[in-house]
């Protein structure tokens, strides 16, 4: 049986459980999933300083988890520590932002982001540029209100995100919209079911990408 570890760079055990459940739901039964939660930091990453501060914890958790895992997911939309962790372990590692942008841009589609964290908007644009998708990225649309309070109220969160999704599609010309945030994972999954709009759920994107990379690694090892 293959084993995946979900690394939560924030300190919320409830968020870890939610994200781990979402990963488990989209993977085959022969893949086990375990979650790890940061021991220090913040319950929700809201700005670049907090994102940078989470990198050390991601590396510590990831290096420890890699001893018994076949793949790792860095489950924060800012992908903190993704590249250093890849360089430190010998197994596939994926991040939510990178994986969702790869899926969203497939076939030359234009994509936007709907999220709750205004202070991280610049980092999303930088990520799109680093992946070679700057010409396909239509920008980020934000919800109104305090991000943490909104994230704690599922109905309000889904309603606010649905408005941001519609703005991204109708005003920005996106073909598909990413719901940007690990803690927004359940809302993203619900919106995919509720809206006719094309929605990308980053946790599902990362899970699918990691499974593919693990399969490719097995094929290469057996060649």
Residue 18's contacts (CB-CB under 8 Å, 6 or more residues apart) are: 183, 185, 186
pLDDT at 195: 84
Pick the CATH number of 98-202 from 3.40.50.12500, 3.30.70.360, 1.20.120.80, 3.90.420.10: 3.40.50.12500
Q: What is the rounded average pLDDT of the residues 189-215?
A: 93
Residues 29-81: tens digit of each pLDDT:
999 999 999 999 999 999 999 999 999 999 999 999 999 999 999 999 999 99
Q: What is the rounded average pLDDT of the residues 166-170?
A: 96
C-alpha to C-alpha distance for 191 and 186, rounded to whole angstroms: 9
pLDDT at 220: 82
Q: Which of 9-13, 18-22, 26-30, 204-208 has the lowest mean pLDDT?
A: 26-30
pLDDT at 217: 87
Find, among 104, 49, 36, the residue nearest to 80 by Cα.
49
Residue boundaries of the structural domains of the chain: 2-95+204-222, 98-202
pLDDT at 219: 83
The DSSP bridge pattern shows strands 31-37 and 93-95 to be: unpaired
Find, among 181, 9, 184, the residue nearest to 85 by Cα.
9
pLDDT at 223: 52
Burial of 29 (0-12, 13-18, 19+ CB in 10 A): exposed
* 222 or 223: which leads in pLDDT: 222
Q: What is the rounded average pLDDT of the residues 183-209?
A: 93
Q: Which fold has domain 2-95+204-222?
A: Rossmann fold (3.40.50)
Stated as kind and residue range, the H or E segment containing 72 is strand 71-74
Contact 52, 119 (CB under 8 A): no
Q: Do domains 2-95+204-222 and 98-202 have the same CATH topology?
A: yes
pLDDT at 17: 97
* 223 or 187: which leads in pLDDT: 187
Residues 76-104: tens digit of each pLDDT:
999 999 999 999 999 999 999 999 999 99
pLDDT at 221: 77
| Its pTM surpasses 0.75 | yes
């Amino acid at each position: 049986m293959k084993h995946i570890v979900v690394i939560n760079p924030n300190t919320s055990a409830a968020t870890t459980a939610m994200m781990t459940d979402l990963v488990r739901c989209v993977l085959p039964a022969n893949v086990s999933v375990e979650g790890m939660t940061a021991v220090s930091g913040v319950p929700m990453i809201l700005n670049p300083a907090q994102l940078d501060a989470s990198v050390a914890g991601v590396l510590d958790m990831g290096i420890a988890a890699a001893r018994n895992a076949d793949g790792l997911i860095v489950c924060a939309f800012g992908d903190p520590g993704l590249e250093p962790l890849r360089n430190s372990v010998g197994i596939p590692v994926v991040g939510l932002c990178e994986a969702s942008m790869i899926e969203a841009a497939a076939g030359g589609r234009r994509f936007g982001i709907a999220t709750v964290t205004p202070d991280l908007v610049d980092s999303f644009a930088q990520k799109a540029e680093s992946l070679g998708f700057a010409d396909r990225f239509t920008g980020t649309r934000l919800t109104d209100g305090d991000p943490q309070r909104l994230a704690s109220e599922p109905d309000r969160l889904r309603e606010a995100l649905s408005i941001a999704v519609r703005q991204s599609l109708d005003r920005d010309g996106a073909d598909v919209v990413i719901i940007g945030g690990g803690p927004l994972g359940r809302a993203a999954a619900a919106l995919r079911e509720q809206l006719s709009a094309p929605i990308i759920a980053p946790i599902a994107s990362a899970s699918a990408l990691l499974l593919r990379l693990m399969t490719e690694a097995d094929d290469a090892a057996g060649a």
